[in-house]
A and B are shown apart, each in its own frame.
Chain A
Amino acid sequence: MIKTDILIIGAGPVGLFAVFEAGLLKLRCHLIDALPQPGGQLSEIYPKKPIYDIPGYPSVLAGELVDNLMEQIEPFHPGFTLGERAETIEKTEEGHFRVTTNKGTVHEAPVIAIAGGLGSFEPRKPPISNIADFEDKGVEYIIKDPEFYRNKRVVVAGGGDSALDWTIFLADVASEVTLVHRRTQFRGALDSVEKVIELNEQGKIKLITEAQVTGLNGNGSLDEVIIKHKTEGDIVKSTDHFVPLFGLSPKLGPIGDWGLAIQKNAIEVNTFDYSTNIPGIFAIGDINTYPGKLKLILCGFHEATLMCQSAFKIINPDKKLSFKYTTVTGVEGLEEG
């Protein structure tokens, strides 16, 4: 079990900066994030985009901002549970919160700060009406273990690196691999594209371009996919598996069921300290809403800072909090562990 002072859900820029402000108050933090790396949207969606409204930086690449934040919080040795999604929350006997991830990692803390941005990143699901009927019965949105596909027929859809890479990998594992993509160009890495074209020419995979999977058929489990080709019309293809790989998109997810007051996918907070309707749980950054809310990183930094003041009082009810400038005291790190 992981114990900490403030359990931060979401390791985007605002969650990361909360570690710094908490650290100045000698509070320890641990972060949970569904993505395998810190940085949230900045790392996942736009690492190479410049941001122009971070005070003091005329321009900074999103990826650089994340690197800098990681460096800034290093003295406070935050813990990370990455690649796992915060799933359930319960109160312990001593009044702390116990948060368990989808992989069963248990965390305990007196204060929770939800810095979840737009939610946790989940595979994008095609809007095919009966797709839910075939989930785990032939339709998988991520490939966990390629061996699962040994000697099976697989239809992969998508045009990015994951679709290309898995097509190449599965060519030697599955009995038949078909890659369906909506146009003849791919956005994936050039050598992967060349490899896929070569495998297609060698007859080791089937490449169907200018086509999209638009329907699924089966009785209990998946039997066939309907592929709509731009010029040839519908192609019905027998298969054991359909793996749509269309990237990730954020979903509010299980946090929506934690009993928090929610308005249009955002958590309502009091702007005094960004507290939610549940005492001890705060929400900062893009995931919260209040009159006048702006979804800006710099606003999230402010919210994180004020949140830590109230968190301190919850964690140390008998201690007095004296406000200090870093210019006076410097940054005193916390010991590891």
Chain B
Amino acid sequence: MDIKITVIDRDDKAHELDAPTDMNMNLMELCKAYELPVEGTCGGMALCSTCHCYVQSEHELPEATEDEEDMLDQAFFVEDNSRLGCQIKLADEIDGLIVKLAPVGE
């Protein structure tokens, strides 16, 4: 039932997390559940960009929506592999996903 997701924090420490796929959770919520430093200010509505991360594994994720792209405009150091964690649903297809948390301003 659970999948594995690796989250690399801003100090480059890798955290291998067990992620449930049957609780309608997203990556932002998973990070918060493990008390990783992700704010998730807006609660997962793609309205704040505090869960900005870089996808480092080769997984094919569903493309970012226009809303997500708009909100990435408020993030910093955005790269081609940038995503909002709150828009990545925990599902079997992303087993083994590796993401790195993006830098945040003061």
A, B bound: yes
Interface residues of A (CB under 8 A from B): 41, 45-46, 49, 118, 124-127, 131-132, 158-160, 181-183, 185-187, 212, 214, 246-247, 249-250
B72 to chain A minimum Cβ distance, whole angstroms, is 7
Check B104 for interface membership: any CB of A closer than 8 A.
yes
Interface residues of B (CB under 8 A from A): 39, 41-42, 45, 47-50, 69-70, 72-78, 103-106
**A118–B41 CB distance below 8 A:** yes
B47 to chain A: which residues have CB within 8 Å?
45-46, 49
**A182–B72 CB distance below 8 A:** yes
**A125–B41 CB distance below 8 A:** no
7 contacts between A and B (CB under 8 A): A45-B41, A45-B42, A127-B77, A159-B73, A160-B73, A246-B76, A249-B50
B69 to chain A: which residues have CB within 8 Å?
183, 185
Chain B residue nearest to A118 (CB atoms) is: B41
Q: Report the bound CA distance from A183 to B76 in whole Å.
A: 12
* Contact status of A249 and B41, CB under 8 A, knowing A125-B106, A127-B105: yes
Q: Report the bound CA distance from A183 to B72 in whole Å.
A: 10
B70 to chain A: which residues have CB within 8 Å?
159, 187
Contact of A212 among B48, B74, B76, B104 (CB under 8 A): B76
A134 to chain B minimum Cβ distance, whole angstroms, is 13
B73 to chain A: which residues have CB within 8 Å?
158-160, 181-183, 186-187, 246
**A46–B42 CB distance below 8 A:** yes
B97 to chain A minimum Cβ distance, whole angstroms, is 24
Q: Report the bound CA distance from A244 to B77 in whole Å.
A: 13
Chain A residue nearest to B67 (CB atoms) is: A187
A183 to chain B: which residues have CB within 8 Å?
69, 73
Chain A residue nearest to B104 (CB atoms) is: A127
A160 to chain B: which residues have CB within 8 Å?
73-74
Chain B at the A interface: mostly helix, strand, loop or mixed?
loop
A159 to chain B: which residues have CB within 8 Å?
70, 73
B61 to chain A minimum Cβ distance, whole angstroms, is 18
Chain B residue nearest to A132 (CB atoms) is: B106
Q: Report the bound CA distance from A182 to B74 in whole Å.
A: 10
**B45–A247 CB distance below 8 A:** no
Contact of B45 among A49, A124, A127 (CB under 8 A): A49
A249 to chain B: which residues have CB within 8 Å?
39, 41, 48, 50
Chain A residue nearest to B72 (CB atoms) is: A182
Q: Which 6 residue pairs are nearest across A and B when measured between Cβ atoms?
A: A125-B105, A187-B70, A159-B73, A127-B103, A247-B74, A127-B105
* Most chain B C-beta atoms within 10 Å of own C-beta, residue among A131, A182, A185, A212: A182
**B103–A124 CB distance below 8 A:** no
B72 to chain A: which residues have CB within 8 Å?
182
**B41–A214 CB distance below 8 A:** no
A214 to chain B: which residues have CB within 8 Å?
77
B74 to chain A: which residues have CB within 8 Å?
124, 158, 160, 246-247
* Contact status of A127 and B76, CB under 8 A, knowing A46-B42, A249-B41: yes
Chain B residue nearest to A117 (CB atoms) is: B41
**B77–A212 CB distance below 8 A:** yes
Q: Report the bound CA distance from A250 to B50 in whole Å.
A: 11
Instruction: Beyond A125-B106, A187-B73, A246-B74, list 9 extra A-B contacts (CB 8 Å).
Output: A45-B47, A49-B47, A125-B105, A126-B105, A158-B73, A183-B73, A212-B78, A247-B74, A249-B39
